[in-house]
Amino acid sequence: MRTESESYIRSERPAPGIHRIVLARAEKRNAQNPTLLYQLDAALTVAATDQEVKVVVLAADGPDFSSGHDLSAPFAMPCAPVATLEGAFDAPAAEGHFAFECEAFLGLCRRWRELPKPTIAQVQGRVIAGGLMLVWPMDLVVAATDATFADPVAAFGTNGAEYFAHAYEIGARRAKEILFTGDAIGAEEARAIGMVNQVVEPDRLERATLELAIRIAERPAFGLRLAKASVNRSQDAQGLQQALDTAFALHNLGHANNLARFGALIDPSGVELVRSRTSRQRSPSSTDDLG
């Protein structure tokens, strides 16, 4: 059993100009504790500041890309904040947790979205709730045919994952359907609606992602940076940032309601429902990694 001081991230250089970061917590289906998130941020910072790196790939060990937040881990900062100036992490009740989520969840996602180099998510297996917060800030997505994407946490008494880009990623009505039902979207549908760029067989996933990264890396770094910023600002002009802020506030209203009613951040009645739904896709190795 690894301790919190050990590494959950591995960095690789599979080709000139390509920096691949791998989630290396396969035994927990790459469930995200705070240590993993900040190790990931540190690896992304290295890639962002290395002038030899042109493209960043985010991949994952094991059968699943990420089963979401590790609900068995404490929601506690493992280091100083990097995405915000939050400081009230030890405040009681909803106040302290709100500060934590502003920094470690929404704050990190926004920071990663603005990394000034092209990023590619290399996705296999399940992506559940908080797992979407690793995929959606990336610029491109290459998915294996077995990839599925789900956000079932309305069962917990909240509206969805903290980085609430759902309507922008999959459209308003499909977003409502998956949130209301907890059902997953498959890789081919994700490609058809524009959330995924390529779908390939699992044994070709790593190669196909690397080939795409190499093609992108042939272009001038500054041109790539300007193109990325232009598309991001186009989404922002359509209201993405305001939508994220509003949904995040509602998400934390859900947490506050749960604290008042149940003494916990999530409605405990939703845990078994979410477990049963996600296990129909593939039996997880842990019962703690639920989103």
- Is there a contact between 23 and 61 (Cβ–Cβ < 8 Å)? yes
Of 251, 276, 33, nearest to 156 (Cα)? 251
pLDDT in tens, 6-21: 899 999 999 999 999 9
pLDDT at 189 over 50: yes
Sign of the torsion angle spanned by Cα atoms 173, 179, 183, 187: positive
Average pLDDT over residues 258-281: 84
Residue 2 pLDDT grade (very low, low, confident, very high; cuts 50, 70, 90): very low
pLDDT at 281 over 70: no
Chain position carrying tokens 């790459």? 30
pLDDT at 216 over 80: yes
Chain position carrying tokens 């232009």? 230
pLDDT at 148 over 90: yes
Burial of 137 (0-12, 13-18, 19+ CB in 10 A): buried
pLDDT in tens, 54-111: 999 999 999 999 999 998 999 999 999 999 999 999 999 999 999 999 999 999 999 9
* Structure token pair of residue 107: 């704050």
pLDDT at 224 over 60: yes
Per-residue model confidence (pLDDT) at position 285: 37
- Is there a contact between 265 and 258 (Cβ–Cβ < 8 Å)? yes
Residue ranges of domains in the chain, CATH in brackets:
9-279 (3.90.226.10)
